[in-house]
Structure 1
Amino acid sequence: MRKCSLWTFLPPMFSIFTTTGLWVVYFIAVEDGKITPLSSEYSRKNGSKPPPPPYISIAGNAPPASCIFSQVTNLAAFVGFIIGVLRYLQLKNRVQKPWLNISSLVALSLACFGLTLVGNFQLANDEKLHNIGTSMTFGLGTLFCWVQSVITLKVNLRNEGRKASIPRFLLSASITLCMLLHFSLMTQRLHMHAARSQWALVMFFLSFFGTFAVEFRHFHFEIVCTDNREPPLSLSETFS
């Protein structure tokens, strides 16, 4: 029986640890009274103002939750970018239209950069930059999911592409629906339902990344370091 590559564990572990980190942020914010629990209704009781709705950005808006939120988003952006590069290398010589593979990597790279803006510029500190990061993460992340779904179907690695593309198309559609629903509910000021759709959107995103374990189990990625035995170039030769 052929052994699976150890790289197969990277996508699901990324999804599991990022999901766990975000829910830790949520529970800390609820415990500190910074947000309303997702299971509650956002309403005034006895004339008092309730905590804000449980948007992810609001949950990670104040310490100690904000410290964990920054760590989680920075690590998620870094590992997500690594997964994107490995996926690009995996498909580099197999995609008939290279621009699809390149555009997918560019979209994910910018989405990961946007995620670092979300984590490092909290909503209360710099709302403009935070919202730019959110738009980049959700918008370009959704584009990445759709492009990867199409590539999965077209390339059909190990004759598993058609089966793997089904959950990816379903997840991409769910992500798109949740994103549209989220912004629609926000414009109607239905903040509790909008927050729930946002959490669902992020969970679908992380589930999508976990599906790359299907292809990664067949491939080995190696970093090769070679010794240059020729005499080193002089400084002028290097720049020339």
Structure 2
Amino acid sequence: MLWFMQGLCFLPVFLVIWSSCTFIIAYLIALFRHDVDVVFPYISDTGANPPESCIFGLMTFISACAGIATIYARYKFVEKLNEDTSVVRPCFNKMALWLGMMSCLGMCVVATFQETLVTKVHDAGALLFFISGVSYIVLQSVISFSAYPYGSSLGVCWARASIALIAVVAFFPMVVCTNFVDQTKLHRDTDDKDYHFYLTSAVCEWVVAFSFICFFLTYIDDFKLFTLRVNLEYWM
């Protein structure tokens, strides 16, 4: 059996590949159509105009669905692990589940409401995604260390903690600098007063987004070890 067919590890593999392609394909199309600048546009800028907005919206929705499935599978894995070891507080596991679901909801809002048309709703969705997403990977890092040695290896635990740290460090300058940027402009000029704030926030946004995506790569070994089954019960 191929490694990506073992257990449920196809879920995080698909999520990472599909989400990465979502950002990259939308960026390339927007760049080809000259809708954005070459150097670090906002992720949302690459999906602001059709046809890339249509592709970005559809692919992001699929990413959100894959994210929900992966996050729920991780929740059930920790829940089962905790039944035998009691090393993780159940409230932490449930909190991580809800944070993960909220981040996926934020992704759907971002994909549905373009930043140039419904800016406030789009920004609210983006804020929900980033806050919930960063909080999720931080909490999952804590859960990983709590479950050691019954869960992941120590190397994987540190890898998760490192990715979470990068996301946290990039998150704060992203939020602060975004407040000083005119977000309705898709093309930037180095002479703009807000250019340095824009560049900092855009770079940090890409770092946070890909930190969140890459975090799910660390689930692959864990997801090889289990499967989920649906039991159907009915009454006559």
Note the C-alpha offset of 1:33: 1.1
1:159 Cα offset (Å): 5.6
Deviates more, 1:215-224 or 1:81-90: 215-224
Which residue of structure 2 lines up, in the alignment, with residue 34 of structure 1?
35
Alpha-carbon distance in 2 for matches of 1:80, 1:106: 12
* Matching of residues 27-176 of structure 1 within 5 Å: 27-38=28-39, 54-93=41-80, 94=82, 95-156=87-148, 158=150, 160-176=152-168
Relative to 1, partners in 2 of residues 1:223 and 1:194: Cα closer, same or farther, differing over 3 Å?
same
For 2:211, the equivalent position in structure 1 comes to: 204
**Aligned position for 2:187:** none
* Distance apart, 1:164 and its partner CA: 1.4
Larger Rg: 1
- State the TM-score, normalizing by the size of structure 1: 0.83
**Contact 2:11–2:69, Cα closer than 8 Å, also in 1:** no
4+ runs deviating over 4 angstroms: none
1:192 deviates by 2.5
Kindly state the Cα deviation for residue 8 of structure 1 after the two structures are TM-superposed: 1.2
Structure 1's 79 and 157: CA in aligned 2 closer, same or farther, altered over 3 A?
Answer: farther
Aligned to 2:183: none
How far the C-alpha of 1:5 sits from its partner, in A, is 2.2
CA-to-aligned-CA distance 1:157-216 (integer Å, 9 cap, x gap): 646342211010000000111112323443563212321221122111110012111211
Give the aligned partner of residue 49 of structure 1: none
Residue type at the aligned position of 1:79 = A
Distance 2:51 2:151 in 1: 48
In the alignment, structure 2 segments of 5+ residues that lack a partner are 181-193
Cα distance in 2 between the residues matched to 1:213 and 1:87: 11
Instruction: Please name the residue that 1:45 is paired with.
Output: none
Deviates more, 1:81-90 or 1:192-201: 192-201
Stretches of structure 1 that go unaligned for 5 or more consecutive residues are 39-52, 232-240
Q: Does 1:221 align with 2:228?
A: yes
1:172-187 → structure 2 map (5 Å cutoff): 172-187=164-179
Pair 11,224 (structure 1): closer, same or farther in 2 beyond 3 Å:
same
Inter-CA distance 187–113: structure 2 relative to 1 (3 Å threshold)? closer
The alignment status of 1:13 with 2:37, answered yes or no, reads: no
The 10-residue stretch of structure 1 (3-12 or 145-154) with the greater mean CA deviation from structure 2: 3-12
Q: CA deviation at 1:76?
A: 1.1
